[in-house]
Structure 1
Amino acid sequence: MRLTKSTDLALRVVMALAVTEESTTAREVAVTMAVPYSHLAKVVARLQHLGLVETRRGRGGGLEITAAGRRASIGGLVRELEGVGDVVDCEGDTPCPLNGDCLLRGALRRAQEAFYASLDPLTVESLTKSPTGPVLIGLIGRRG
């Protein structure tokens, strides 16, 4: 299974915010993550909508992770960000001729759910423990 770039970035953003002691701006996070600000802004908006990140405008504003964001299950977050759907599109523009009698589709669904289930016990906070946390702190501290 492959995650979208937006999901990957969202996971990195919440992990980075989980180790910061103070508010940081979206531009600073974009520089730290070496991604375009416009892409990061869309990801942050989605995380805010999910209640995982809090944003404040103006002087003293910035981004902070919420308590719910710290406790968020990685499996649940990935499910939410990736959306519900099959690994393969059996009914797309060119429907698969095996569609009604295919065992592969069910096997892929089970594999996809096993992937998510393996991520369910992990939380954002658990992923920021050593050795990852100190590396994230170093990256955030270098941003200028």
Structure 2
Amino acid sequence: MQLTRFTDLGLRILMHLATPAGASGATTTAVADQVAASPTHAAKVVTRLQNLGLVETRRGRAGGLTITAAGRTTSVGWIARQLEGPGEVINCEGERPCPLARGCRLRSLVRDAQEAFFTVLDPWTIDDLAVAPTQDVLLQIGVGAPPEPTTARSAGPS
């Protein structure tokens, strides 16, 4: 299972906005630079995150992006499901339909595997992800070399 670039970028933007550096209301262009994305692609992702209620945007001189309370506390699994959309992992009816489609069990198996993938993400929130060592790296992006990681977190959220 591989997330789309759109979903990956959405999660990285939320993680950046959840840090003290992102909390001050960065511009879409600045955030795009911080997460190594094109400003155009980042703008599309930000629009979707805004529609989901995960970020707020303000135009003008004092404008920028800020993460909402929902953006901090909503399940990463839910966010990934929303950004990925309802599409199938395997396209059996594409331009060249699969000859096994009528009696194949693989499609439902892969659909179940996709749901299991999202289920692993469900207990986590953006706030869970945007702590050390990730926060240390997010705060150093563009400043110089990233710091050495402090402690790794491998279990689910506490």
Same fold by TM (over 0.5)? yes
Question: Aligned AA for 1:83?
Answer: G
3-state secondary structure, aligned to 2:61: coil
Offset of residue 60 of structure 1: 1.2
Offset of residue 7 of structure 1: 1.0
Offset of residue 48 of structure 1: 0.6
Offset of residue 36 of structure 1: 1.4
| Residue 112, structure 1, aligned to residue 114, structure 2 | yes
Which of the residues 27, 39, 42 maps onto 2:41? 39
Residue of structure 2 equivalent to 1:80: 82
Residue of structure 1 equivalent to 2:123: 121
After the TM superposition, which segments of 4 or more aligned residues of structure 1 sit over 6 Å from their partners? none
Question: What stretches of structure 1 of length at least 5 have no aligned partner?
Answer: none
TM-score, scaled to structure 2? 0.84
Offset of residue 15 of structure 1: 0.3
Question: What stretches of structure 2 of length at least 5 have no aligned partner?
Answer: 145-158
Distance 2:36 2:115 in 1: 31
Q: Which has the higher helix share?
A: 1
Question: Aligned AA for 2:54?
Answer: L
Question: Aligned AA for 2:12?
Answer: R
Offset of residue 139 of structure 1: 2.0
Distance 1:31 1:78 in 2: 22
Count of residues in correspondence between the two structures: 142
Residue of structure 2 equivalent to 1:92: 94
Residue of structure 2 equivalent to 1:63: 65
Identity of aligned residues (%): 53
Cα-Cα RMSD: 1.5
Offset of residue 128 of structure 1: 0.8
3-state secondary structure, aligned to 2:88: coil
Offset of residue 86 of structure 1: 1.8
Distance 1:57 1:21 in 2: 16
Residue of structure 2 equivalent to 1:16: 16
